[in-house]
Amino acid sequence: MNNENPINEPISKAVGNFDFIIPAIDIIDGKCVRLTKGDFSKKTIYSEDPLQVAKSFEDAGIKRLHLVDLDGARAGTIRNIDLLTAIANATDLIIDFGGGVNSIEDIKNILDAGADMVTLGTIAVKHPELLEEWVLDFGADKFLVGVDVLHERVKIKGWQLDAGLTIIDMVRKMLAIGILQIFCTDISKDGMMTGPSINLYRKIITEIPEINLIASGGVTSWDDINDLMEVGCKAAIVGKALYEGNMLTLK
C-alpha cells in the first residue's frame, strides 16, 4: 500500500511552541513518509520535500527533529546523509539522525554533517560493548538510543526478532555505560493513532527514575502529551498526529 497524503498547510498551527514535541521525519526515496507498525509495504507519503517540512517545524517554534533514514535502516548502510546536511545547514533544529549506522566512521560522518546526536537501535541492543567504546570517544550526550518493545520485550531487526531481554533490562544496560536519553516505541501503538503506552512509560520511570525517557508511538492529541508529561517523560516523538492534523484543534 502506498497512500498519497500530502502534508498540508496548517501543520505549524498544530505544533505551536511546545518544546516537549519532537517531530519525526522518516525518509524513503528522498520523501517524507510514515509507516504503520514499521511495515515498508504500508507507507504514506506526506511530502516530496523533507527539507521544507523541517523548515515548517522550525517556523512553528519546534526546537528538535528526529530524522530517520529508513532507506539506510533497510539497506544496513546510511543512504540519506545529504538530506541531513541540507536540513542542518538550513535550520537551527537540534537533530538526531539514525538508520544504517554501523561504524565509528558512520558516527563521525553523521556528526560532521550537522547532527547533534546519533540514533542507535539494534546495534545498541546487540553490541553494547561497541556503544560503550563510542561513548568514550564521543561522549554519551552524542547518542540517542531507540528501543522497540512489544509486551515489554525488546525487539530488533525491524521488530521481527526478540532480543532476549525486557525494556527494564535494556534501560539498565544503557545507564551502566552512561546513556541517559532513550526513546521507547511500543510497536503495538506505532502509527495506530490510539494513544501512547502510558502504563509502560510509568513503569519504566518508576523503576528507573534517572532515565530521560522519550515516548514514541501512538500520540494522538494534546491530552496524550499532558499524560506523558505527568508520568515523567521528557519529550515525545510525534509523527502522524502532526501530519494529519489531529492536534490542530487541541492546541
In this prediction, residue 87 carries a pLDDT of 98
Give the contacts of 76 (CB within 8 A, at least 6 positions apart): 100, 102
Is 26 designated active site? yes
For residue 43, the domain's CATH number is 3.20.20.70
Burial class (CB in 10 A: 0-12, 13-18, 19+), 147: buried
Q: Which one is catalytic: 69, 71, 106, 148?
A: 148
In this prediction, residue 12 carries a pLDDT of 41
83: pLDDT confidence band, cut at 50, 70 and 90?
very high
| Total count of domains within the chain | 1
For 59-68, 104-113, 238-247, which range has the lowest pLDDT when averaged over its residues? 238-247
- Residue 99 is classified by DSSP as S
Residues 165-175 pLDDT 10s: 999 999 999 99
Residues 89-108 pLDDT 10s: 999 999 999 999 999 999 99
Measured between alpha carbons, how far is 178 from 144 in angstroms, rounded to an integer? 11
Highest-pLDDT range among 59-68, 136-145, 150-159? 136-145
Stretch 108-128: mean pLDDT: 96
- pTM comes to 0.89
Question: 122 is in which domain, residue-wise?
Answer: 2-250
- How many CA atoms lie less than 13 Å away from 49 in the CB half-sphere? 8
> Per-residue pLDDT for 239 more than 50?
yes
192: pLDDT confidence band, cut at 50, 70 and 90?
low
Is 148 designated active site? yes
